[in-house]
Structures are given as structure tokens and as C-alpha cells.
């Protein structure tokens, strides 16, 4: 039976994993389909990715690593992503996965010139999103959880921007059957608060950010929408 794979690119802090589970578990919960249809591949630990023809789709998690570190496992995964996307495999990259998707297709990732974006923020759809398979059912503006210091500086040729805000001009994009989101649809409010606590000493407005955290039901739906898309194609 073909499955949707979760490409695990890292993990959360140990104490947060104890309380909330790990990156792949958050994505698994968000996909919200039969557990027998999902398999996790831990590329950070050297696990091999399957041939794209053998699976229904792929979701790549975030990571505490940086795309610009050019780690061996990351570069190898980027090659696989390029091959998979060109074959038409549905792909969904989150944060690190979003940036690596862009790089694998000829875009560029790097440190954000405006610095870190963290907390629950408002994200706005672009006109291109209105006819998009995943985003067309989303409200024109919705809250989403964020924590990133790197970004997709430039999109690959042929990609379309689907969402943005004042801080981040590429919060979501599509290239063929592949989507990347800079925000975190797999986070819930408590996970978001946990990340703010981790770096609150370095944030001038940590209390404001903490008090602004809300659940992000619309953004969270994207993982299930993607899973259903994979099952249809």
C-alpha cells in the first residue's frame, strides 16, 4: 500500500518533546488520516527516502538546523525533492522544508534581513491563492504560528507566491504539485508558547508575543487538505 511519508528533518527540544511529542508526531496529527497511510523517514539520522513512484506524497518537517549549513543529509534530501517534484509527486514543506524545497528548485534561502519572526501572526493570501488546490478554501487573512530566522529569499523560477505578511514576503508558495509554507500549521498554541519561552530573554516584546498566541485552526487545516489531495491524485 502506498503511503504519505513524513520527512523528519530534526526534532524539538527534549523537554518539549516530553510534553508535546516530536516534530513528526505533530505533522502526523495534522494530516488526520488513517495511521496506516503514514510513515516517517528520519533523514537527519540517515534513513533512505523511497522512490517517488512508491509513495502518495511527502511532508517535510521543520528543523533546528539551517538550510545554509549545507549538511550532508540536507543536500541529499534536496536532490530527492527536486527529482520527486519533477515527477509530479505531491510535496508539502514546512519552514526548513519550505526553504529546502525552494533551494532544490533553484530558489535561495538565507537569513531574513528583518531578523526573527516568532509568535502567532496574521498571514494574507495573494490573488494566486484564490484558485490554488490547497489554499482556495482558506480565508483571505488568517493567524499562523511562526518561528524562523531564515527564509526563502527568492522563489524558484515558475513558482507562485500564495501568502505573505509585512515581515515575510514568501509565507507560502507553489511550484507544480509542491507547496511550501514558512509558518507552522503543525503547531498548537501551547507549542508556540513553548518556543517563545525558549528565547524570551532575547525578545524585547516576549510578553506581548506570548499574550498574542491563539489557536490557528485555519492554518492547521492545511495538512489535512494536503493529505486528502494526495489520496485523490
Arithmetic mean of pLDDT over the chain: 96
Q: What average pLDDT does range 74-83 have in this prediction?
A: 98
Q: What is the pLDDT of residue 198?
A: 87
Residue 231: the pLDDT is 96
* Exposed/middle/buried for residue 128 (C-beta within 10 Å: 0-12, 13-18, 19+): middle
For the chain, give every domain's residue range: 4-232
- Model confidence, pTM: 0.96
**172-211: b (≥16 Cβ within 10 Å) or e:** bbbbebbbbbbbbbbbbeebbbbbbeeeeeeeeebeebbe
Catalytic residues: 95, 184, 186
The CATH number of 4-232, from 3.40.50.920, 3.40.50.880, 3.40.1280.10, 3.40.50.1220, is 3.40.50.880
- Please report the pLDDT score of residue 34 as a whole number: 95
In this predicted model, what pLDDT tens digit does every residue of 139-179 receive, in sequence order?
999 999 999 999 999 999 999 999 999 999 999 999 999 99
Query: What are the DSSP E strand ranges found in 72-127?
Result: 91-94, 108-111, 117-125
**% of the chain with per-residue pLDDT over 70:** 100
State the pLDDT at residue 209. 87
Structure confidence by residue, pLDDT tens digits, 86-136: 999 999 999 999 999 999 999 999 999 999 999 999 999 999 999 999 999
- Cα–Cα dist 161/83, whole Å: 22
Predicted pLDDT of residue 137: 94
Query: For position 139, what pLDDT does the model report?
Result: 97
Residue 205 in this model has a pLDDT that exceeds 90: no
Amino acid at each position: 500500500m502506498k503511503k504519505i511519508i513524513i520527512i523528519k528533518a530534526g526534532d524539538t527540544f527534549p523537554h518539549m518533546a516530553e510534553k508535546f511529542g516530536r516534530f513528526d508526531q505533530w505533522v502526523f496529527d495534522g494530516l488526520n488520516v488513517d495511521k496506516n497511510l503514514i510513515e516517517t523517514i528520519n533523514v537527519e539520522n540517515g534513513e533512505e527516502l523511497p522512490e517517488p513512484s512508491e509513495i502518495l506524497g511527502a511532508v517535510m518537517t521543520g528543523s533546528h538546523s539551517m538550510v545554509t549549513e549545507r549538511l550532508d543529509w540536507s543536500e541529499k534530501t534536496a536532490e530527492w525533492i527536486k527529482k520527486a517534484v519533477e515527477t509530479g509527486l505531491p510535496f508539502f514543506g514546512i519552514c526548513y522544508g519550505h526553504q529546502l524545497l525552494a533551494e532544490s528548485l533553484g530558489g535561495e534561502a538565507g537569513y531574513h534581513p528583518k531578523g526573527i519572526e516568532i509568535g502567532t501572526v496574521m498571514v494574507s493570501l495573494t490573488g494566486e491563492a484564490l484558485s490554488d488546490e490547497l489554499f482556495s478554501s482558506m480565508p483571505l487573512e488568517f493567524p499562523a504560528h511562526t518561528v524562523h530566522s531564515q527564509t526563502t529569499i527568492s522563489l524558484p523560477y515558475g513558482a507562485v507566491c500564495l501568502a505573505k505578511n509585512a515581515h515575510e514576503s514568501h509565507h507560502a508558495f507553489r511550484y507544480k504539485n509542491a507547496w511550501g509554507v514558512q509558518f507552522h500549521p503543525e503547531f498548537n498554541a501551547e507549542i508556540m508558547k513553548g518556543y517563545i519561552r525558549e528565547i524570551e530573554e532575547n525578545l524585547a516584546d516576549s510578553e506581548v508575543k506570548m499574550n498574542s498566541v491563539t489557536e490557528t485552526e485555519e492554518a492547521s487545516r492545511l495538512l489535512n487538505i494536503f493529505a486528502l489531495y494526495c489520496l485523490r491524485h
